[in-house]
Amino acid sequence: MNEYNVSDYGIFTNSINTTKVLNSKFEEMKTSSTNCKSTLSNQAVFMGPACDSCLQALASADSKLVTLTDNFSTIISYLAETSANYQAGDQAASNVLMLENGKVGVGAASAVGAASTGAALSNLPGNTHQEKIYNYFASQGYNHAAICGILSNIKHESGYRTDALGDGGTSYGICQWHNERWQRLDNYCLSNNLDPKSLDGQLAYLSYEFSQYPNLVNTFKSVPNTADGAYQAAYAMTVQFERPANSDAAGQTRGYAAQKLMEEMNAIAGV
């Protein structure tokens, strides 16, 4: 669960500024290298084979500097987009963006990619985290629309990953429990002989937390089993439970995502 503070956003601003400074330095190095090549070329007739070797080395350096500046420009773009996602409360989108698009050593795209949409209706076996989450809440009496609203939030928070980390390593799990809430997750699971790192443990704690939000639970249990119901459930969970920055905008985004998820599941299940 994300509880962002304005100060949290500074990590992106600092990273962007640092990357811009480094990129500027590399641009200066490119200019210096070009000047060196020009000077050496003018004197090549007097310097012989040694000059040719220097020119070749500078040409190789130029090529590497071009790659570096291109990569740093790309990183700046990704950081800016990630910062926008983060401030909208879209932590999972931020993580996926950095891992899938960071082609300069950020990490493997497969490390985070959101779980594929499966036939996750309650009468079907669950193999993915998405399906297991669906079936867990179906067993508690929530309808299809309400569960799609819950899934939309979990997907945006963590991509359904139980080991997801956010907020500079201070938020954890499928709902990005932050600081003391992360500690409460651990305490609850240990007290109930559950593994806080497991999906079963995190779902049990999530259900317990929902019980502390009776208005939200009432919304889940009363929404119509329609696309509008999925939107209502997702929006309510965002603004009442997850409470990211810009909750209204994030709630709308997750509400529309819940509607799309419902359509995808219905198509797969032939509903």
Annotated domain spans of the chain: 6-87, 129-269
Mean pLDDT of the chain: 75
In the beta sheet, which residues pair with residue 171?
A: 166, 178
Q: What is the CATH number of domain 129-269?
A: 1.10.530.10
- Of 30, 166, 39, 12, the closest CA to residue 91 belongs to 166
Residue in this structure with the two tokens 């201070």, named with its chain if needed: 170
DSSP 3-state assignment of 177?
strand
pLDDT in tens, 148-159: 999 999 999 999
Orientation angle between helical segments 10-47 and 49-87, nearest 10 degrees: 170
DSSP 3-state assignment of 167?
helix
As a whole number of angstroms, the distance between CA 145 and CA 66 comes to: 51
Residue 43 has pLDDT above 60, yes or no: yes
pLDDT in tens, 180-228: 999 999 999 999 999 999 999 999 999 999 999 999 999 999 999 999 9
pLDDT over 70, % of the chain: 60
pLDDT in tens, 99-142: 434 433 322 222 222 223 333 344 444 458 998 999 999 998 99
Read off the DSSP letter of residue 176: T
Q: Which helix (H) or strand (E) holds 178?
A: strand 177-178
> Which residues neighbour 96 within 8 Å (Cβ) at sequence distance 6 or greater?
112, 113, 114, 159
As a whole number of angstroms, the distance between CA 18 and CA 52 comes to: 36
DSSP 3-state assignment of 221?
helix
Residue 98 has pLDDT above 50, yes or no: no
pLDDT of residue 103: 34
For 66-82, what is the mean pLDDT?
A: 65
pLDDT of residue 195: 95
pLDDT of residue 13: 64
As a whole number of angstroms, the distance between CA 127 and CA 199 comes to: 12
In the beta sheet, which residues pair with residue 3?
A: none
pLDDT band at 10 (very low <50, low <70, confident <90, very high): low
Q: Which helix (H) or strand (E) holds 58?
A: helix 49-87
More confident residue, 112 or 143: 143
> Which residues neighbour 93 within 8 Å (Cβ) at sequence distance 6 or greater?
85, 156
More confident residue, 120 or 176: 176
In the beta sheet, which residues pair with residue 75?
A: none
